[in-house]
Structure 1
Amino acid sequence: MTELSCSKSPSMVLSRAMTFFLTMLAMIAFAGNSLLCRLALKQTAIDPASFTSLRILSGALALRLIMGLRAGSPSSGNWPSALALFAYAAGFSYAYVSLPTATGALLLFGAVQATMIGYGVCRGERLGMLQSAGLLCAFGGLAILLLPGLSAPPLAGSALMVVAGVAWGVYSLRGKGAEDPAGVTAGNFLRAVPMAAALSAIGIPWASMDSSGFWYAVVSGALASGCGYVLWYMALGGLKATSAAIVQLSVPVIAAVGGIVLLGEAITVRLMIASTAILGGIALVIVERQGGKGGGTDQ
């Protein structure tokens, strides 16, 4: 999953073509986390704790290697943010034991954005009429998605994914405005490794593994997470804040398409209605919020 804050790396100017290319790769990588996790937990023998640990460890190693190639850019980070990162990764893995790819990605994205928007409201940010309507629309879509019925997602998995989304929202808020977001993320991944190791130790009685599950977890951590974050931070150098926020709406859509193509998952009418309401409502809030600040400012 994706860091959803929009802090830009300084002094990075990109062409439109390069910005588009990097953004596209980053969004595919972020959606890839959902696909890889669901694929591993559905079709291989790996357990959620092992997937979480391997994802965090491989992400930490990949980011450390990337940071090592950058002269004068040591890793930083802090323990509270690392805890939020670990809570996201663990909740994400356990949720995808039962959730379809598209539903999980939509719940995660909605929870992240709700957390960040809610934080702004609690800090005194005023919502205009259109923003309020967008927020109500998004929460209405979430309610539609979770209403009891034959096509309703499992409650336990949904709750875990919402917790994961809140944790990632907290992580994004804590990292907002960081001067070196890639370095901070590298440091936080490194700090999350012992937490993931503790989770795996607790889960030893239920641990299982095969080669396919191992490699899905490694690719999720090293490429979809580690390299995906670096690509995103590079792309932010050529994106306005509004564009950076809006483009992330594509992640649940890409995940849904991937779930259909790679996992044979069905898209229900309920999911389509909920997706339209949630993503449309969030888009309205983002556009109105950034429009009031000026499209070229950072979030």
Structure 2
Amino acid sequence: MRFVFLICVVLVAFASNSILNRMAVGGGEIDAIVFALVRAFAGAVTLAVLVLIQRRGLPVLAPARIVGAGSLTVYLIGFSISYIQMDAGLGALILFGGVQVTMFAGALIGGERPPARRWIGAALALAGLAWLSWPSGAAALPAVAVIAMLAAAVGWGIYSLAGRRATYPMAETGANFIWSVPPLLLLTLLRPVQIDGVATTVTGIVLAVVAGGLTSGLGYALWYDVLPKLRGSTSALLQLTVPVIAMAAGVALLGEVITWRMVGAGAVTLGGIAYGLGLFQRRTGSSTS
């Protein structure tokens, strides 16, 4: 039961990141790259302090940081940029659909062979997300935002696959955040100055700090803690609940209107996940697959 609770906390943290990013960047409170930089810096400071309090070291020079920090940085940049133009629901579809493909591919390369029900469940969940998030009008999708979110999806998928080998989640996550700060700082300094650039507000900074220190820093450390106990395909499937959670949070916190399409699509998505995880079958033994 504790393990299930931890997974639920992680998924809520992931959904909160979408809401916070949307409020800050989409609301014009802060520049997208500055948001990513503050988010990374807050996560690095928070986790570094907690690790030092525990009298442990930060593995900043470990070879695994190349993949961990590199994929995290790609995710942070793409995620922030995409929400300048993209609707949160459509962004969630592209992000976690891309994560699903990336992690399934990684699992297959690693020798995992997901059962047929997991493939069927994933297809149902993706269909539900498509129904939930696809725009009702004929407006063209913003190409830059789509490319940025796809890059974020690949980055997060690789980051999650790498996390399955973590031995000290908090310290390794903290080291990843530390290494993500320099490239984000460099990108902030080198990015073109826009004539009508977004001014950084106190609200934007606060939202970025919360996203970095709480829902990202501690949330990702907890994710690295549960990942070794999950198969790659299972962890990919679980993350498809995040867009549904984010949509519900948008209704509760941002005053968005709930529709029958949201209810129906959410039911299809969650039903697909439940089927893929074997929750509709009688279990003869326990497993963390």
Q: Which among 187, 195, 208 is matched to residue 183 of structure 2?
A: 195
Please state if 1:39 is matched with 2:23.
Answer: yes
The answer to whether the Cα contact below 8 Å between 1:67 and 1:75 also exists between their aligned partners in 2 is: no
Please state if 1:161 is matched with 2:149.
Answer: yes
How far 1:39 moved relative to its partner?
0.3
- The two structures have a TM-score, normalised by structure 2, of 0.78
How far 1:279 moved relative to its partner?
4.7
Instruction: Output the CA distance in 1 between the equivalents of 2:3 and 2:167.
Output: 20
Who is 2:123 aligned against? 136
The answer to whether the Cα contact below 8 Å between 1:99 and 1:153 also exists between their aligned partners in 2 is: no
Instruction: Output the CA distance in 1 between the equivalents of 2:48 and 2:244.
Output: 30
Who is 1:254 aligned against? 245
**1:74-133 superposed Cα distances (whole Å, 9 cap, x missing partner):** 334512321110110111111112233343334322322221112223445434432332
How far 1:37 moved relative to its partner?
0.4
Who is 2:219 aligned against? 228
Instruction: Output the CA distance in 1 between the equivalents of 2:109 and 2:260.
Output: 34
Q: Which among 66, 90, 96 is matched to residue 79 of structure 1?
A: 66
Instruction: Output the CA distance in 1 between the equivalents of 2:11 and 2:122.
Output: 24
DSSP 3-state at the match of 1:265: coil
How far 1:36 moved relative to its partner?
0.6
Who is 1:264 aligned against? 255
- RMSD over aligned CA atoms reads 3.5
**1:218-246 superposed Cα distances (whole Å, 9 cap, x missing partner):** 11111111122345566x49x9748x847
DSSP 3-state at the match of 1:78: helix
DSSP 3-state at the match of 2:193: helix
The answer to whether the Cα contact below 8 Å between 1:137 and 1:277 also exists between their aligned partners in 2 is: yes
The answer to whether the Cα contact below 8 Å between 1:108 and 1:161 also exists between their aligned partners in 2 is: yes
State the identity as a percent.
36
**1:181-221 superposed Cα distances (whole Å, 9 cap, x missing partner):** 22111111111111111221232503531111111111111
1:266/1:93 Cα in 2 relative to 1: closer, same or farther (>3 Å)? Answer: farther
Please state if 1:205 is matched with 2:189.
Answer: no
Instruction: Output the CA distance in 1 between the equivalents of 2:165 and 2:155.
Output: 18
**1:16-72 superposed Cα distances (whole Å, 9 cap, x missing partner):** 5x6676555443332211111000123233111111111111111111111111223
Corresponding residue pairs, total: 276
Amino acid across the alignment from 2:45: L
Q: Which runs of 5+ in 2 are unaligned?
A: none
